[in-house]
Amino acid sequence: MTNTIERDLTQKLEKNHLEASSTEKEAADIIKEQANEAFKNSDYGKAIELYTKAIQIHPDAILYSNRSFAYLRRGWYDYALIDAKKALEYDLNYIKAYYRRASAYMALGKYNSALCDYEYVIKACPNDKDATTKYEECKKAVTRIDFEKANAVDESTESAVNQIDLSSMTIEPDYDGPHLNVNGHVTKEFMSTLLPYLENQKILHKKYAYQIILQTLSLLKSLPTLVEITVPNKHKFTICGDIHGQYYDLLNIFKLNGLPSEENLYLFNGDFVDRGSFSIECVLTLFSFKLLYPNHFFLARGNHESMTMNQMYGFEGEVKAKYTAQMFQLFTEVFNYLPLAHCINKKILVIHGGLFSKDNVTLKDICAIDRVRQSPDEGLMGELLWSDPQPHNGRSKSKRGLGIQFGPDVTERFLKLNNLEYIVRSHEVKQQGYDMAHNKKCITVFSAPRYCDTMTNKGAFLTITGDDITPKFTSYAAVPHPAARPMTYAN
Residues taking part in catalysis: 304
- Taking CA atoms, 133 is separated from 138, 140, 205, 301, 473, in Å, by 9, 11, 34, 32, 43
**314 touches 328 (CB < 8 A):** no
Q: Which among 233, 245, 322 is positioned nearest to 276, based on CA atoms?
A: 245
Which residue type sits at 252?
N
The alpha-carbon radius of gyration of the chain (Å, integer) is 25
Judged on CB neighbours under 10 Å (0-12, 13-18, 19+), 482 is: exposed
∠ Cα 110 112 117 (to 5°) = 95
Spell out the residues 6+ positions from residue 276 whose beta carbon is closer than 8 angstroms to its own: 243, 244, 245, 246, 247, 282, 314, 448, 452, 486
Which residue type sits at 55?
I
Judged on CB neighbours under 10 Å (0-12, 13-18, 19+), 233 is: exposed
Q: Which 3 state secondary structure label does DSSP give 106?
A: helix
CA atoms within 13 A on the CB side of 19: 6
Q: Report CA torsion sign: 404, 407, 408, 413.
A: negative
